[in-house]
Every structure is written in C-alpha cells, then in structure tokens.
Chain A
Amino acid sequence: MPQTDAEKKRKFRSAKRMREIMTEYYIEAKTADQTGKKVAWITSGGPVEPLIAMDVIPVYPENYGAMIGASHMGGDLCAKAEALGYSTDLCSYARADIACALEDGGPIGGLPKPDMLVCCNNICGTVMKWYEIQARLFDVPLFIFDTPFCHVDFAEEARRYVRTQIDEYIGFLEGVCKKKFDFDRSMEVGRLSLKGQRLWQDVLDAAAHRPSPMTAFDAFFFLALIVTLRGTDKVVDFYTELLEEMKERVNQGISAVENERYRLLWDNLPVWYRLKWLSDTFAAHEACLVADTYTTAWCGSMKYIDENNFIDSMAEAYTRIYLNIGVDEMAKTIFAMIDKYEVDGLVMHSNRSCKPYSFGQYDIMRMVQEKKGIPCMMLESHMVDERSFSESQAATRIDAFMEVIRQRGPRAGTAL
C-alpha cells in the first residue's frame, strides 16, 4: 500500500537498527554451541546482570513468546500444549514455549538449547513450574531466585533472604561456567544496566509531550532491548539514539497518531497478535495510547539501585518490581502515570494468561475512577493465544469507551 508523506514521517528510523541488533543477538545465541559460549534461559524479570558479567548469553522465552504471538503462531502452539495435557487456563507464553521446545517449531526455528535456567518468581508463580519442566526436558541445572511478595515495604528479613540468594546465584554460575565471578566486571555491567534503564525511562517520558511522538505500541516494540540486553553498552547506545529521535520528533511536531485528541494509558501485557488492529482502532478515534504500565516495569524499580553497589542493591530492585507489589502500590503507580502523561482514560487488558497482572484490576479501576475521575475500560484476552480474542466484542467496547470519552471532551490543555 502506498504511504503518504505524513505516514513516512511517522515511521521510526531507529526501528531498522533495532531489528538489526535483535537479529545479531539471536544469531549469536543460536550459534553459541560453535563459539563456545553458554546460553541461559531466564525469566523476563530475572537478574540478568550476573549472566552478562559471566559472558553467558541470556535468552528469554517470554520475549520469544511475544514473537510467537506477533507471528500468529500462538493458537496452534497452545493447542499442541493442551494436547500434551496442559490446561487452557495456563499462561499462553508457558504453553507456547513448552510446545515449541518439544518440536523445534515456532519463529526463528526455535530457541537455542539452554546450558542452564534462571527463574525469578518476581513476575509470577507459573514460571517455577514452567522452568522445572524445561529443566527436566533439557536436563540442565536450574537456579530459582525467590523474591518474597512486597505488599507495601521491603522488610529487613526479606532483604537478607534475597541478598543471600545473590551469593548462591553467583556460586551457581561459577559452577556451571567453571570460572570465577569477576566482581569488577559486574560493577561495570551494573552501571550500564542502570544507565540503560534511565535512558529507557527518558524515551518513555517523551510521550508526556503533546502530541505524543510515540505510542505504547512503539514502546512494546522498542522494549525488547532493555529486556534482553540490559547491562550491555549496545542498549545504552541504542536508547541514546532513540532518545535523540524522540527529541527530533518533538521539535518537529511529529505526532505518533494523526490529530491526537485523546490520550490513553494501557495496563497489562500487549495483545501481541492484535497490535496493528488495536493501534488502528484507537487511532481512528484520534486516540493515542501514550503510556503503559508494562514497558515502564523495566525501569520502575531503578530508584532502589545503588550505582556503586549494584550487587547488594539489586536484591531490593528485583524484589520490588511492579508485579511483586500490593494492589494499592500498583494503583499509586497508575495514578502517577495518569498525571504525568495527562491521560483521558485507562484501557485495561484483563489478560487470562497473566494472573498477577490481571488480579486486582477491577479494584484498581474503581480507585482510578474515584481518585482521578477518568473513564476506564476492560478488554479480555490471552496475550499470545489468539483463539481467545473476540474482535466484534472488542470493537464494540472500544467504540463505546471512546464515545464516553468524546462526550466528556478532552482534558484541559489539549490543542484543538
């Protein structure tokens, strides 16, 4: 389809570079057995910096899950897992990954085989069983990094408990890699990790500008680096460039959504197989999803990191992430985002795959309506299993939600 000049202008030039980096990364991971590097599968919220410091290539089944979803392969793979006996109520990342591992299917011909598994339960409880299954399948060692739930505060006992596990984690890595852990190198990796997180936050903050130079759908795309390569200078270099591009867009008045009139906040993981449809549907209402709680989670706990003492402080940073805190704390994060990005409404994705994310959403919705007085809507689906998405129902809800917002009119300060 021919593009208009405005559409061409809206394309991110950094997208090409991002694809190159991700391709290089997956090639490196897939050829690790030839280069002698070790591969660790790790959960998306797991402490990756020690792996980088040990020259281990981290691979993320969850990032791969997003690829499966975006390639519309989730439904078939989930059905295969169900045929093996896994319940339809299970996380669709877990189902798709388990099915893929057994048959080398899926995008890029499957993930490289792991030499070890690192599972951190700060994102959910499902990962524990999921990684145990994979540890049995591949017959490789599994390290479980257990982060107690933080309803409000981070108790001293919790700090000691998590800190002890960092030593065990280092011991585990030394055992599998058969070499000593380099603490000086880990300091440098920690600094780069924090720098990357700061830059990612700055990129996301660009969306506070009216009109927003980016949408949450762009953030879902650009997120992959802070997840997979955090702690490397590649991330720092790339987000420095991306931030430059954001600033240029702001200066040139390039808006991500043509005639942005309404600004919305997204909660929960994306519906990976419906990104374009959702983006077009909201854009047709002149609505821009300017921010989301999901991509913010990869820079949301950097306030707990001590640059000069990364190893100690990461105990707290990895424990107090968005999915490991109480509903009241989550609501506070959402209130702050509503104010920061000046949004007119909240779109919640009740994601049947992700229980810790979806639990409490109705309570948060009520709190948002009481405290912030903005309309909220709920969409139900599984993030990767496209069989669970009902387009006509979703379309009616979005249309009705936008009608309600339009009746109220945009927030003060909107350029008309």
Chain B
Amino acid sequence: MKTAGIDIGSITAKAAILEDGVILGTRIGFTGYNAGLAGRKIFEDLTGELGMEASSLDRIVSTGYGRKSVEFAHKSMTEIICHGAGAHFLDPKVRTVVDVGGQDSKALILDASGKVTDFVMNDKCAAGTGRFLEVMARALEVNLDEFGEISLQSENPAKISSICTVFAESEVISLISRGEQRDNIIAGIHDSVASRVYAMAQRLAVNAPIMMTGGVARNIGVVRALEKRFGSPVEVNEYAQANGAIGAAVLACSLP
C-alpha cells in the first residue's frame, strides 16, 4: 500500500510517501501565499522525484495549518495526531514529542501504541517558535542555518528576559549595541525559546524518551538548551522536519 502525507505549515510545506511501512521519500519547500498550490506542488515534486504516478497513491492525508486547502487529500487531520504518529513510526519507544514549527509549538504525550493521550499548544504568540528565531537571525545578520553551531561556542549566554518577539528583538538590538558577543546573544535566544517550550511542556506529565520534531529541531542550539531544561536527552531524527507529513502518511494507511 502506498500512502502520502502532506503537511502545510506556516513557513514550509512538507510531503512524505510511504510504501508498506518504508519511507520512499520526503520533500520540503516553502508554503508561500497559496497553501493549496503549495500542497499540490510539493506532492507533484516528490512523486516526480520518485518517478511515481500520482494516481498510484492509495490514500493521502493532509495536515498542518493549510490542511483544509489540500483538495486532493482523502482526509485532513491535525498536526498533533500526525506528529504523534510520525514520532511513533520513527521510534516506537518515544513517549513525549516536542514539536516547534514556524508559528506554533506543542508538546504531546504518547502511549505505547503511539496514541496521543494529552497535548498542549502555545498561546497566540510567536515567542518560542521558528518565526521568533527568523526575526532574531535577521536582527543579527546571521544565516538561520548557522545559528545552532554558533551558539555552541558561547561560554556565557546572554539573558533575554522578554517573552514577546517584538520586545525581545529590541533587547537583542540593545545587546548588540552594548557590544555583546554574537555567540552569547544567540545562545541566550536559544535559552529563551527552550524555557518557553519547557514551561509549556511542564503542564503535561512528560516522560522520556523525548523526541523533538519540526523545523526548529534542525537547530542544535535549541536542542541542547532543551536537554538542559528537561535534564534528559532529546532525540532528533533525520526526518524531524518532515515528521508531521510522515505521520500523516502513516495514518493514511488505516483510512478505510
């Protein structure tokens, strides 16, 4: 059985194709202004790359903020349930998933069968999300992909006290003007994201092993800062960013 998962996030669109429990491929692109079009494109790009006909897919599930705009999907499901299914598929031992995406962050608890038993999402605020890191990277004139590595060189992370993205940016700018080292500022930003996400996850009964998913999982600085907070290793799979799409493809297998 061949299934596809399409995850339309606020910044990136992800697609994954599975056949009988094996990942055939995943793909990530920008969402842009038209979520429906982004879903169609990422799906066609991936089937093209894999040399498959779109019609050979048995079931397609869409997820993410743009899930309802993917018209060719058989069903749409929330990213909560899809991230749970994806994490369970990648590592069945995982009991807590922390997903930090472009515009929201969430934590979920899984049981042994991969079902979500409880979850929590951030409130209406960009702090502690990928968008927050993007804004900071722009202020610091650093490529976001280098953020993680740079922060690991810091010996004395700066304190970013504000929980608001806009105010935190002014705080970062004042740190820059005071001549604070860039690596310390970036490490401080990562601590601030980690503390927000950690505080939110604490509303749940967090159990190890913990897995981090979503685009921000690519940032090693945030991962390390989260490990410090949780006092436990945080697993990051190579498919972390496409995890929601993989989960959607997994759940598509059990559609009638």
Contacts and interface: CB of A to CB of B under 8 A. Distances in A.
A88 interface: no
Interface string A367-383: 00100000110101000
Contacts of A396: 65, 78-80, 121
B127 to A, nearest CB: 14
A366 to B, nearest CB: 8
B124 A393 contact: yes
Contacts of B121: 393, 396-397
B80 to A, nearest CB: 4
Contacts of A392: 65
A403 B116 contact: yes
A400 interface: yes
A407 B116 contact: yes
A399 interface: yes
Contacts of A399: 77-78
Contacts of A376: 118
Contact of A403 (B77, B118, B123, B124): B77
A284 to B, nearest CB: 12
Nearest to A404: B116
B147 interface: no
A397 B124 CA distance: 12
Contacts of B191: none
A403 B78 CA distance: 8
Interface range for A: 20 to 34
A375 B65 contact: no
A396 to B, nearest CB: 5
Interface in B72-125: 77-81, 104, 115-121, 123-124
A407 B78 CA distance: 13
B123 A407 contact: no
Contacts of A375: 117-118
A380 B123 contact: yes
A390 B78 contact: no
Contact of B115 (A369, A390, A400, A407): A407
Contacts of A400: 78-81, 116, 119
Contacts of B78: 396, 399-400, 403
Given A375-B118, A380-B124, A403 B104 contact: no
B228 interface: no
A363 B104 CA distance: 23
A154 interface: no
Nearest to A376: B118
Interface range for B: 10 to 19
B96 to A, nearest CB: 15
A362 interface: yes
With most chain B CB atoms within 10 A of its CB, the pick from A362, A366, A375, A393 is A393
Given A403-B77, A403-B81, A369 B118 contact: yes
Contacts of A390: 124
Contacts of B116: 400, 403-404, 407
B203 interface: yes
Interface string A270-313: 00000000000000000000000000000000000000000000
A396 B78 CA distance: 6
A99 B123 CA distance: 28
Contacts of A362: 203
A30 B68 CA distance: 48
Interface string A246-273: 0000000000000000000000000000
A400 B77 CA distance: 8
A388 B79 CA distance: 23
Contacts of B119: 400, 404
A378 B65 CA distance: 18
Nearest to B77: A403
A231 B77 CA distance: 49
Interface in B107-160: 115-121, 123-124
A103 to B, nearest CB: 29
A404 B123 contact: no
A320 to B, nearest CB: 29
Nearest to B83: A400
Given A380-B124, A404-B81, A393 B118 contact: no
B4 to A, nearest CB: 19
A404 B78 CA distance: 10
Nearest to A398: B78
A388 B125 CA distance: 11
Nearest to A377: B119
Contacts of B120: 378
A392 B77 CA distance: 14
Contacts of A393: 104, 121, 124
A341 B77 CA distance: 29
Contacts of B77: 399, 403
Nearest to A393: B124
Interface in B48-65: 65
A392 B103 CA distance: 12
A403 B203 contact: no
Nearest to B66: A392
Interface in B214-243: none
Interface string B187-207: 000000000000000010000
Contacts of A388: 124
B88 to A, nearest CB: 12
Interface of A: 362, 365-366, 369, 375-376, 378, 380, 388, 390, 392-393, 396-397, 399-400, 403-404, 407-408
Interface of B: 65, 77-81, 104, 115-121, 123-124, 203
15 contacts: A362-B203, A369-B118, A388-B124, A390-B124, A393-B104, A396-B65, A400-B80, A400-B116, A400-B119, A403-B78, A403-B80, A404-B80, A404-B118, A407-B115, A407-B116
Q: Top 5 A-B pairs ranked by shortest CB distance?
A: A400-B80, A400-B78, A403-B81, A399-B78, A390-B124
